[in-house]
Amino acid sequence: MPGLNTSSTADISFMLLIFFLVTTSMDTDMGLARHLPQPPDPDQEDAQVDIKARNILYVRLNFQGQLWVEDETTRGYADIGELRQRVKEFVKNEQNFSKWPEKHVKILDHLGRCYVTDKHVISVQTDRGTPYDAYFQVQNELVAAYAELRNELAKEKFGREYEYLDDEIKEVIRKQYYPQNISEAEPKKYGGTK
Amino acid sequence: MAAGFKRKEGREMVEMNTSSLPDLIFTILFFFMMVTTMREVTLKVKFVVPQGTELEKLEKKSAVSFIYVGPPTDQLRAQMGSGTRIQLNDRYAEPKEVMDFVAAERQGMTNQAEQVISIKADKGTQMGYITDIKEVLRKSYALRINYSASRRN
């Protein structure tokens, strides 16, 4: 009984290999992960949230992609490179400055008694003509600002980088101490002067 | 024949044993099948994604759907013009069709709650298109999105 001639198996598997090489791609997809807010409830006609003027940082992009940053203290065109620092200072409000977001006491798990600015809102507004790249860079800087704030907090309280913390602590920091309050709708404001 | 090169009698060239070659190739094949992904669609729009620093890798490829935004490719420009288009699967679509697309994609997923929509948009796209898409995505409860980008060094 002669054995089955298997000399062509190599050719067959070579052909399969080449087929896979052609039809697949190895590139890993990367991107900036964001969460969209829940859709507005149609029953609630006027569900506008009232936010104190001091709690809002406006980040506007015009049709030319120029950046305008405005809070209670300053307003004016800004460079994309400045945005990260501006956001960090605003959200942190280390000196409890009366024109930056209000701080209030909150008892948090693992962290204890903290003064947090969790009522702050960063309002990103774009024009229909704004280049996508400009918007993307703003989003990137916002994410970077929050990441740096969380990292600084982690180092200060636990002496470790944020990513090496336990998931529970991470969640407290992410959701309660430095929540990402980025709004892309126009919030109504009261109090304070324009 | 020259003196020094006399062929010795009774000694044949031994053939190399190739019986393990198919196994070897199969191993390479399986390796490629694991590390690569199927090319999803033929692109009808061209785009250069923006560059960022705070990027995350798209985990769980099976839960990701792509929306491409950009001007038509060079071959299609003659027919379709050079205005921004939205591509879903293999064709151009309007922003409102995103809703059906999301629902259809969700149907085929085992882990529907983890659905991620990756927006691959050209740098120069006007935000109007993106805002429209986002609005529809919100309405269809596809809230986890990902702005596709490449890493900036």
CB contact under 8 A, B32 and A24: yes
How many Å apart are CA A82 and CA A69, to the nearest integer?
10
For the CA atoms of B59, B61, B62, B65, what is the dihedral angle to 10 degrees?
110
Of the two residues A23 and A138, the one the predictor is more confident about is: A138
A positions 145-164 inside 8 Å of B (CB): 147
Query: Taking residues B28-35, what's their average pLDDT?
Result: 81
Are B108 and B148 in contact by the 8 Å Cβ rule? The answer is: no
A positions 78-117 inside 8 Å of B (CB): none
Chain B residues with CB under 8 Å of A10 CB are 18, 21-22, 25
For residue A48, give the DSSP letter.
P
CATH, range A50-188? 3.30.420.270
On whether the pTM is more than 0.90, the answer is no
Using the Cβ of A42 and the Cβ atoms of chain B, whether some distance falls under 8 Å is answered with no
Residue of A nearest to B145 (CA): A34
Which of B131, B146, B153, B152 lies closest to B56 in space, CA to CA? B146
Residue of A nearest to B138 (CA): A39
What is the pLDDT of chain A when averaged over all its residues?
82
Task: Quick: pLDDT tens for B37-89.
Answer: 666 678 888 889 999 998 888 877 778 888 999 999 888 888 888 888 899 88
Using the Cβ of B41 and the Cβ atoms of chain A, whether some distance falls under 8 Å is answered with no
Show Cβ contacts of residue A152 under 8 Å, excluding neighbours closer than 6 positions.
Answer: none
What are the φ/ψ torsions at residue A174 (nearest 5 degrees)? -70, -40
Q: How confident is the model at residue A194 (pLDDT cuts 50, 70, 90)?
A: very low
Q: In the Cβ-directed half-sphere of A66, how many Cα atoms lie within 13 Å? A: 6
Q: pLDDT value at position A29?
A: 79
Q: Which residue in the block uniquely carries the two structure tokens 């506008």?
A: A48
How many Å apart are CA A175 and CA A89, to the nearest integer?
19
Domain spans of chain A, in order of start: 50-188
Q: pLDDT value at position B147?
A: 92
Strand-pair partners of A4: none
Q: pLDDT value at position A45?
A: 59
Q: Is B127 helix (H, G, I), strand (E, B) or coil?
A: helix
Q: Which residue in the block uniquely carries the two structure tokens 């992960």?
A: A33
Query: Taking residues A114-124, what's their average pLDDT?
Result: 86
Residue A142 scores a pLDDT above 60? yes
Q: pLDDT value at position B79?
A: 83
CB contact under 8 A, B149 and A128: no
How many Å apart are CA B57 and CA A167, to the nearest integer?
19
The residue type of B53 is: T
Q: pLDDT value at position A192?
A: 44
Domain B51-151 part of CATH 3.30.420.270: yes
Q: Which residue in the block uniquely carries the two structure tokens 């300053």?
A: A74
CB contact under 8 A, B147 and A32: yes
Residue A42 scores a pLDDT above 50? yes
B148 → closest Cβ in A31, A126, A133? A31
Query: Taking residues A153-179, what's their average pLDDT?
Result: 87
Residue of A nearest to B140 (CA): A39
Secondary structure (DSSP) of B56-78: EE---GGGEEEEEEEPBPHHHHH
Q: pLDDT value at position A193?
A: 41
Using the Cβ of A49 and the Cβ atoms of chain B, whether some distance falls under 8 Å is answered with no
Q: How confident is the model at residue B3 (pLDDT cuts 50, 70, 90)?
A: low
Interface predicted TM-score of the whole assembly (ipTM), two decimals: 0.76
How many Å apart are CA B125 and CA B71, to the nearest integer?
8
Are A97 and B90 in contact by the 8 Å Cβ rule? The answer is: no
Q: pLDDT value at position B7?
A: 61
Q: Quote the percentage of chain B above a pLDDT of 70.
A: 91
Q: pLDDT value at position B9?
A: 64
